[in-house]
């Protein structure tokens, strides 16, 4: 079945450093979504990518969808303490359930 | 709008007890989902519903049952709780599963401990 792998599992950065999390699927995806979960909170939708090679930006966050639609990445430029949390990718095959990655937990040292 | 509301927020059960987790959404979403979240394993889909009166199994359905008698409500039942069901449970909803463009809206979660 479909597997969505996310790396790294943990990332600790100094405030101001960049951060990247990667998501890889064993199968071709129809779309991929990214969510952020603050400590003690619930996942909050960030963005959806649909097209091969798509790149979207939200302020300091850059999201990419691979050409083969099997991988994706989230890059945060110049991290801030407000970026702390766990970032999940969620990939969907055509007409199938959406599968979440295990998440990358980001901690930021001021 | 309240979005997705889950009750209760916390619960401790003894092995073998039963309980029902309640989820209500006021966004007129067609699809609703129940996930469990365990450390290092992300979110795993238990059951989902594509509309009132319909339910389907997800990735980890064993030990759980669901019902969607009304469009706005999705109930998750544990008939005989086991320690392996200790987890954080999230309910979510979306407009239409494969066609949604705004993502899932999650409730605040229910932290369940089975002793």
Strand partners, A86: A37, A105
Which of B31, B42, B96, B102 to probe by mutation at the A interface, max A CB count within 10 Å? Answer: B42
pLDDT score recorded for residue A46? 96
- Statement: residue B98 has pLDDT above 70: no
Q: A99 to chain B: which residues are within 8 Å by CB?
A: 45, 59
Tell me whether A85 touches chain B (CB under 8 Å).
Answer: no
pLDDT score recorded for residue B100? 59
Which of A3, A37, A38, A42 to probe by mutation at the B interface, max B CB count within 10 Å? Answer: A42
| pLDDT tens digit sequence for A7-63 | 999 999 999 999 999 999 999 999 999 999 999 999 999 999 999 999 999 999 999
Strand partners, A62: A57, A75
CA distance A36 to A85: 7
Three-class DSSP labels, chain A: CCCEEEECCEEEEECCCCEEEEEEECCCCCEEEEEEECCCCCCEEEEEECCCCCEEEECCEEEEECCCCCEEEEEECCCCHHHCEEEEEEEECCCCCEEECCCEEEEEEC
């Amino acid at each position: 079945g479909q597997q969505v792998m996310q790396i790294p599992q943990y990332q600790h950065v100094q405030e101001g450093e960049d951060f990247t999390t990667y998501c890889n699927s064993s199968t071709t995806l129809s779309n991929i979504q990214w969510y952020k979960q603050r400590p003690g909170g619930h996942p909050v939708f960030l963005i959806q990518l649909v097209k091969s090679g798509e790149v979207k930006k939200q302020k300091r966050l850059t999201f990419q969808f691979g050409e083969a639609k099997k991988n994706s990445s989230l890059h945060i430029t110049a991290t801030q303490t407000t970026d702390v949390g766990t970032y999940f990718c969620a990939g969907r095959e055509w007409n199938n359930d959406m599968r979440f990655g295990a998440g990358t937990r980001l901690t930021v040292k001021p | 709008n309240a979005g997705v509301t889950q009750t209760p927020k916390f619960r401790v059960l003894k092995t073998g007890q039963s309980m029902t987790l309640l989820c209500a959404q006021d966004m007129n979403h067609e699809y609703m989902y129940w996930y469990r979240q365990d450390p290092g394993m992300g979110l795993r889909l238990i059951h989902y519903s594509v509309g009132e009166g319909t339910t389907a199994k997800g990735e980890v359905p064993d030990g759980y049952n669901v019902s969607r008698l009304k469009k706005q409500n999705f109930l998750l039942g544990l008939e005989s709780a086991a320690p392996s069901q200790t987890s954080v449970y999230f309910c979510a909803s979306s407009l239409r599963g494969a066609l949604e463009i705004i993502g899932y809206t999650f409730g605040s979660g229910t932290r369940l401990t089975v002793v």
